[in-house]
Amino acid sequence: MPVLDIRNNIVMVTNTVGVGSNYGIGYALTSNTGNFQNLTSNNNTFWVASASGSQNAIGVVNGLTTTTNIPLNTLAYWQSTTGKDAISQNILPVTISNSNMHIVLGNATNLLLNGTGASLAEVTDDIDCEARTGPNSPDIGADEFNAPNIDVAFDAIVRPGGVTTCHS
């Protein structure tokens, strides 16, 4: 059985038209959790588009043919079947475009990827040769980014009873 290490990845199935099956990950292993002992998979994000006329799923186990496989449509189903990806996420990152998969900085959804990856000695930089080190590193995905600082300001504090105090 091969040893696989799948961490810090963004897995997206975005096809929503046509017929057939679209899977983010496929394993020919049966759905017995013990069969996944050589698999390390965590700190990923999975997103699957809803489809009409086709079967979209995060992954498939028990074979790669449609007559024998078991599609795992949700992250919870994937986690319970494989026993992996305990702290992985189910979000659709916002990228610059379909041909430029860099993360859009400042997007609230993308902030969930910042600093939530696992440190891997084998991976020291990202797709742009930027270091995968720092206080909020590494990020999930191939693009290391720094989330913008968020400054929160307020104009007034409302106390019980409706009394407002002003602050400058």
Q: What percent of the chain has pLDDT over 90?
A: 32
pLDDT in tens, 58-115: 888 887 777 778 888 889 999 998 889 999 999 999 999 988 989 998 888 999 999 9
pLDDT of residue 33: 60
List of residues 6+ apart from 3 with CB closer than 8 A: 38, 39
More confident residue, 7 or 61: 7
More confident residue, 160 or 59: 59
Lookup result for tokens 């998969």: 101
Question: Which of 17-26, 92-101, 128-137 is modeled with the greatest confidence?
Answer: 92-101
Asked if residue 43 lies in contact with residue 7, where contact means CB atoms within 8 angstroms, the answer is yes
Are residues 113 and 107 in contact, defined by beta-carbon separation less than 8 angstroms? no
120 in helix, strand or coil?
coil
pLDDT of residue 167: 56
**How many CA atoms lie less than 13 Å away from 47 in the CB half-sphere?**
14
pTM above 0.85, yes or no: no
pLDDT of residue 128: 92
How much of the chain, in percent, has pLDDT values that exceed 70? Answer: 81
